[in-house]
Each structure stands twice: as C-alpha cells, then as structure tokens.
Amino acid sequence: MRYLTIALTKGRLASKTLALLEEIGITCEEMKDKNTRKLIFVNEELKLKFFLAKGPDVPTYVEYGAADIGVVGRDTILEEGRKLYEVMDLGFGKCRMCICGPQTAKPLLETNQLIRVATKYPNIAKDYFYNKKHQTVEIIKLNGSIELAPIVGLSEVICDIVETGSTLRENGLSVLEEVCPLSARMVVNQVSMKMESDRISDLIQKLKKVIKEA
Ligand code: PRP
C-alpha cells in the first residue's frame, strides 16, 4: 500500500482538521509537538503522510499530486483556481467574503461607479465585479490588514473575509455586499481520486458521518 499524503493549511484550520481526523481514529502524534521544525509527519500504521503549508500553496500541492488530499479554505480554492476536486465541506472555518467599506461607499456600489477595491483576493474580486455585477473597478492587491485601505484613502471599498465582524466594527466599516459564504473544504487530486478511490472514499464517508453526528 502506498502512502496517501495530506496537505493541511498551517494554523487554526490544521488544528481543527487534526481534531476531526482524530474522531475517525486517524492520529499523528509527532504533529502535536508545537516546537518541532519537522515539515512532514508520518503515520506508518495507516500509511499516511501529513504536511503543513501556507493556504495558497495547498491547492498547488494537490493539483500537482505532491499531496493526494488537501484541507483549505474555500476562499483560497476560488482564488487559486487550480484543477482539483472539491469533495466536502468540513463545516468549520465558517466566514463570508464581503465587499466592505464606510457607509458612504454604498451609493458608489449601487450606481456602478469606477471605484478602487483593495483585496488579498484579486481573482475573487474580479469575478464578482466583472462577471456578476458588471461593474468596472480598479483592483489593488494587498497582502494583509486590508481594512486599512479605505481608512487611509487607498481604496473606496475592500473585498475581504468577515468572520465575527469585529475588525470592521472597530474601524468604522461595514459589510456593504456579500460575495459568498466560506468554510474549510477537503480537496483531492484528480488522478488520486481514481487511483486511490477506495481509501479516499472511505475517508470521506467516515468524515461525513462524524460531521453529521456533531
Ligand atoms: C482576516 C480578514 C479580516 C479579519 C476578519 O484577517 O482579512 O481582517 O480576519 O475577522 P473578524 O470579522 O472576526 O474581525 P487575518 O486575521 O487573517 O489577517 P490579515 O489581515 O493579515 O489578512
């Protein structure tokens, strides 16, 4: 039996994924050591390998088959547009992709003005404004703290993730439009899905069962 390799998104998504996997009897003790500098972890008994990667890299590893399976946010899947199968919603990491800004920007959206949109997700923003809203905008790519952009006058609005809404509230911004709901998803390499269909389907069925019972 060959190893199945699973790529996890570093941080909270990885911890939640590992907790979920534990519920179906898949553990990886070496991964729990917070001080380890190891990059790849093995469960010899189950012939599984795990590694942690930055979110945007997870779909890349999965598309190329360096990982058979990945766990990543839907925001990243949409943004990266990689060729892979999205097989299940894991039900955690729930949040929304939204267009946000000061209330004064609302009429600019309603009347399809040529505005600037700051975002970490240029492809999602382009798809929303160009294909869904048919509004011409200028997209400005940023790498973090997106809420700063309308405050300092870089853009009129932002396209960003809203979870609790507290970052927006504390900065005098609001959700002006909703783009789509988000959560953690399991993705599978297209060849692995065929070659390892029994093991992967079994994993999906078990996970679906514990998620349903939760
Ligand atoms: C994300 C997102 C928002 C914030 C939303 O940023 O970009 O800024 O979380 O969460 P809230 O609605 O619960 O306040 P993250 O903390 O991932 O960091 P970043 O700003 O570097 O992208």
- Hey, CA dihedral for 152, 153, 157, 158, is it positive or negative? negative
Say if residues 21 and 32 touch (Cβ distance below 8 Å).
no
74 φ/ψ angles, rounded to the nearest 5 degrees: -65, -30
Structure-derived torsion over alpha carbons of residues 60, 62, 67, 68, reported in degrees to the nearest 10: 180
Q: Tell me the pLDDT band of 16, cut-offs 50, 70 and 90.
A: very high
Q: Give the model's pLDDT for residue 34.
A: 79
Render pLDDT for 54-89 as a digit per residue (tens, 0 to 9).
999 999 999 999 999 999 999 999 999 999 999 999
Please determine, for residue 145, whether its predicted confidence score (pLDDT) is greater than 90. yes
The mean-pLDDT minimum among 37-41, 129-133, 178-182 falls in: 37-41
- What is the best residue among 99, 167, 182 to mutate for testing ligand 1's pocket, by most ligand atoms within 8 Å of CB? 167
Q: Give the model's pLDDT for residue 85.
A: 98
SS3 labels along 43-92 = ECCCCEEEEEECHHHHHHHHHCCCCCEEEEEHHHHHHHCCCCEEEEECCC
Q: Give the model's pLDDT for residue 33.
A: 81
Residue 190 contacts by C-beta under 8 Å, 6 or more apart in sequence?
Answer: 83, 84, 85
Please determine, for residue 111, whether its predicted confidence score (pLDDT) is greater than 90. yes
Closest CA to 158 of 181, 131, 138: 138
Say if residues 88 and 183 touch (Cβ distance below 8 Å).
no
Render pLDDT for 20-49 as a digit per residue (tens, 0 to 9).
999 999 988 888 787 888 889 999 999 999
Q: Give the model's pLDDT for residue 36.
A: 85
Distance from residue 160's CA to the centre of ligand 1 (Å):
8
Residue nearest to atom 7 of ligand 1 (CA): 161
Residue 191 burial by CB count (10 A; 0-12/13-18/19+): exposed, middle or buried? exposed
Q: For the residues 99-111, what does the mean pLDDT come to?
A: 97
- Rounded to two decimals, the pTM is 0.95
β-strand partners of 119 = 141, 159
Residue nearest to atom 21 of ligand 1 (CA): 144
Residue type, 103: Q
Residue nearest to atom 10 of ligand 1 (CA): 163
Q: Which residue has the higher pLDDT, 32 or 9?
A: 9
- What is the best residue among 157, 159, 160, 168 to mutate for testing ligand 1's pocket, by most ligand atoms within 8 Å of CB? 160
